[in-house]
């Protein structure tokens, strides 16, 4: 058997009938087999399901309308793709909607994160059912698999951790057999299950990570992530005019970029690939003949400035109530709270009488953290901030980025400059 390749298609690449036809063309023109194909929820389906979850808790009268919109969207795509041959697919989708409604007929679970994961998985399940039915109509051999049967995790709902030994064993059992029999597997990104078969998710936008986990466990030759961009860019083209494609970067550079908030790749994706020296390609699904960007063990030098902007940041200033210094025992307590609520600290600064952290404005987590910290500390918050990180910075770029902004906090380490800013009104 040839070495396995892994493809991942994001939500934009399967958002409608025409997009799914394009996925079919890419797979049809790809001679490589065996091939594992990881697919996200269609378009903005995850957002739609999040609205359903919130309505289940706070606005149950609106649930029928929201669920109906979700059904109509998927069923319209199914009809557009299959042209009179969609009944079997509509039956499969109907079974998913029935299962979803069973959950929604019960009272919301007291654990919001658990409840979230039991509902949100329907997006990936529906999208892969639709893609699989279209590929079958096009006579492209493959087998549909439920990722929850082989992506095994702990019970940290919404940010589940992979249980590697159990996952490896399950992938060897289910995925390798399917690849041997059919040559191609279609499965879901982002989702997994606990040892008790409860659905879990790997963190928002976690489909990239699913692809990396499969590649690691299958000793794949490469992973390709198909996106709506030409590759990895030096900045977000929606924010900046002059951006360029990076043809090749190292694993370490990619890890740095994702750590600082670059959204092209899920932050956990790189490490499993680096551990087995599996190259990752980011390629444009609307121009599949283009090379895109390669991420590998090859060290890259003389890179241009790379700009990453993380909006919706909050600055917390944590002070002792008696104006004493913030000492080691205080930092230990602060970080215990941060760890318990699984909050990522994007930047921090220690002064004589306060400890300052910059975090994303995730309201539910932040409120809990603030309530815990206020038992021992005085807290002040500043919201509406941006965190700008520049790798391989130069003075001209930094001067340009500072214009029209109030600099709240700035730091430089090596060739990386970071600053928390507020736009001038």
Whether residue 342 sits in one domain with residue 207: no
pLDDT confidence band for 380 (50 / 70 / 90): very high
Is 269 inside any structural domain?
no
CA distances from 78 to 68, 90, 130, 143, 286 (A): 15, 7, 6, 19, 21
Closest to 313 (Cα-Cα) out of 206, 408, 183, 204 = 408
Mean per-residue pLDDT over the chain, rounded: 92
Q: Which of 77, 79, 75, 89 is nearest to 18 (CA)?
A: 77
pLDDT digits (tens, 9 = 90+) for 158-172: 999 999 999 999 999
> Residues 54, 141: one domain?
yes
**Residue 234 located in a structural domain:** no
Examine the pLDDT at 350 and tell me if it is beyond 90: no
- Whether 316 and 208 share a structural domain: no
Residue % of the chain over a pLDDT of 70: 99
Residues 151 and 14 in one domain: yes
End-to-end CA distance of the chain: 62
21-68, pLDDT tens digit by residue? 999 999 998 888 999 999 999 999 999 999 999 999 999 999 999 999
Q: Are residues 65 and 185 in the same domain?
A: yes
Residue 358 — φ and ψ, nearest 5°? -115, 125
User: Residue 414: is its pLDDT beyond 90?
Assistant: no
Report the CATH number that the domain containing residue 404 is assigned in CATH: 3.30.2130.10
243 is in an annotated binding site: no
Q: Which residues have CB under 8 Å from 57's CB, separation 6+?
A: 108, 112
In a shared domain, residues 179 and 316: no
Exposed/middle/buried for residue 104 (C-beta within 10 Å: 0-12, 13-18, 19+): middle
242 is in an annotated binding site: no
- Going by pLDDT thresholds of 50, 70 and 90, the confidence category of residue 120 is very high
Degrees (nearest 5) of the Cα angle 233, 237, 241?
110
Query: Is 253 contained in some domain?
Result: no
Q: For residues 219 and 315, state if they share a domain.
A: no
Does residue 274 fall inside a structural domain?
A: no
Could you tell me if 326 and 221 lie in one domain? Answer: no
Per-residue pLDDT, 32: 81
Average pLDDT over residues 282-309: 90
Residue 341 placed within a domain: yes
> Is the backbone of residue 268 left (phi > 0), alpha (psi -120 to 50) or beta?
alpha
By residue range, what is the domain housing residue 395?
306-423
Same structural domain for residues 157 and 32?
yes
Distance of CA 40 to the CA centre of its chain: 10
Whether the pLDDT of residue 326 is over 70: the answer is yes
**Given a cut of 70, is residue 425 above it in pLDDT?**
no
Neighbouring residues of 86: CB distance < 8 A, sequence distance ≥ 6: 78, 79, 133
d(CA 52, CA 41): 15
pLDDT greater than 70 at residue 332: yes
Same domain? For 153 and 56 the reply is yes
Tokens of 259: 């750590």
352 lies in some domain: yes
- 40 and 185 housed in the same domain: yes
Is pLDDT above 60 for 118? yes
- The domain tally of the chain equals 2
Separation CA 425–CA 416 (nearest Å)? 28
CATH of the domain at 137: 3.40.1160.10
Owner of token pair 């990076």: 246
The answer to whether residue 277 is domain-embedded is no
* The pLDDT of residue 14 is above 80: yes
The residue among 182, 208, 227 that closes a domain is: 227
CB 361 within 8 A of CB 316: no
Q: 173-222 pLDDT, tens per residue?
A: 999 999 999 999 999 999 999 999 999 999 877 899 999 999 999 999 99
The more confident residue out of 231 and 32 is 231
Instruction: Give the model's pLDDT for residue 410.
Output: 92
Q: Tell me if 235 is assigned to some domain.
A: no
Q: Where are the beta strands (DSSP E) in 341-396?
A: 345-350, 354-360, 377-391
For residue 231, give every residue at least 6 positions away whose Cβ sits within 8 Å of its Cβ, in sequence order, or none: 245, 246, 247, 282, 283, 284, 290, 291, 292, 293
Cβ-based neighbours of 51, under 8 Å, separated by 6 or more:
66
Residue where a domain terminates, one of 201, 227, 253: 227
**Half-sphere exposure at residue 216, Cβ-oriented, CA atoms within 13 angstroms:** 22
Task: Check whether 90 has a pLDDT greater than 60.
Answer: yes
The confidence score (pLDDT) of residue 155 equals 95
Q: How far is CA 404 from the centre of its chain?
A: 32
Domain stop point among 200, 227, 254 = 227
Predicted confidence band of residue 1 (pLDDT cuts 50, 70, 90): low
Predicted pLDDT at 241? 84
């Amino acid at each position: 058997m040839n070495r396995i390749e892994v493809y991942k298609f994001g939500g934009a690449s399967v958002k409608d009938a025409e997009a799914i036809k394009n996925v079919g063309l890419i797979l049809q023109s790809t001679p490589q087999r065996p091939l594992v194909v990881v697919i996200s929820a269609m378009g903005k389906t995850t957002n739609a399901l999040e609205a359903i979850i919130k309505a289940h808790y706070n606005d149950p009268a609106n649930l029928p309308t929201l669920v109906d919109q979700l059904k109509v969207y998927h069923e319209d795509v199914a009809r557009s793709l299959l042209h009179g041959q969609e009944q079997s697919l509509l039956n499969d989708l109907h079974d998913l909607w029935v299962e979803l409604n069973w959950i929604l007929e019960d009272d919301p679970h007291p654990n919001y994160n658990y409840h979230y994961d039991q509902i949100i998985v329907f997006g990936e399940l529906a999208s892969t059912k639709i893609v699989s039915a279209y590929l079958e109509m096009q006579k492209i051999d493959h087998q549909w698999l439920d990722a929850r049967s082989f992506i095994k995790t702990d019970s940290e709902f919404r940010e589940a951790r992979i249980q590697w030994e159990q996952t490896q064993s399950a992938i060897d059992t289910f995925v390798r057999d399917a690849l041997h029999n059919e040559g191609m597997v279609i499965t879901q990104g982002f989702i997994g299950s606990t040892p008790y078969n409860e659905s879990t998710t790997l963190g928002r936008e976690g489909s990239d990570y699913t692809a990396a986990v499969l590649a690691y466990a299958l000793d794949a030759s490469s992973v390709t992530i198909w996106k709506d961009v030409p590759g990895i860019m030096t900045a977000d083209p929606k924010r900046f005019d002059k951006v360029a494609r990076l043809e090749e970067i190292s694993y370490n550079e990619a890890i740095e970029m994702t750590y600082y908030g670059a959204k092209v790749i899920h932050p956990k994706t790189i490490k499993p690939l680096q551990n087995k020296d599996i190259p990752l390609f980011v390629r444009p699904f609307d121009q599949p003949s283009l090379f895109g960007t390669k991420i590998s063990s090859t060290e890259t030098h003389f890179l241009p400035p790379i700009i990453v902007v993380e909006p919706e940041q909050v600055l917390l200033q944590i002070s002792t109530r008696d104006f004493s210094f913030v000492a080691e025992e205080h930092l230990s307590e602060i970080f215990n709270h941060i760890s318990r609520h699984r909050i990522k600290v994007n930047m921090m600064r220690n002064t004589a009488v306060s400890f300052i952290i910059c975090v994303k404005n995730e309201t539910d987590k932040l409120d809990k953290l603030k309530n815990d910290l206020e038992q021992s500390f005085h807290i002040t918050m500043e919201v509406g901030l941006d965190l700008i990180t520049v790798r391989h910075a130069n003075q001209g770029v930094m001067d340009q980025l500072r214009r029209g902004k109030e600099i709240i906090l700035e730091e430089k380490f090596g060739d990386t400059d970071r600053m928390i800013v507020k736009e001038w009104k």
